[in-house]
Structure 1
């Protein structure tokens, strides 16, 4: 078995090996995915979709993905300030 496909057990939860996480990309946008240990999923910041990890195997079928709230997504550095934040300046 290839080392990149091994899954590491850590703190009772499953985590994908760092090598594998560097290879995987979003099936929709082809952009890198980030690991969310809280929800045990892979997140595509480009599309705002979360793909589950089931028994250590990433489910990257577009139908398995779930759209996540924009509040849960990190804001890119240097992002424009919301118009509501500009009031009073």
Structure 2
């Protein structure tokens, strides 16, 4: 294991692989710069009035599927099995 690790981390091997697959080159002096050479972000103008809110969309209608009904029918039995109090009955049936 140590021999394999030594082979994988061999600097000459890594240099050859980097040259072959990464295309890296040494940094040229013209690539170096100072932090002061980086331009500042442009200033953003602030709106002088409040933006009108977007129109709210109506909520999507509830879609009842057979699976939803099966889950709703099973809830009392699940609550009893877990020892939880029954839910209050909704007005007007389901």
User: TM-score under structure 1 normalisation?
Assistant: 0.19
Query: Higher helix share goes to which structure?
Result: 2
Larger radius of gyration: 2
The structure showing larger relative contact order (alpha-carbon pairs under 8 Å, at least 6 residues apart) is 1
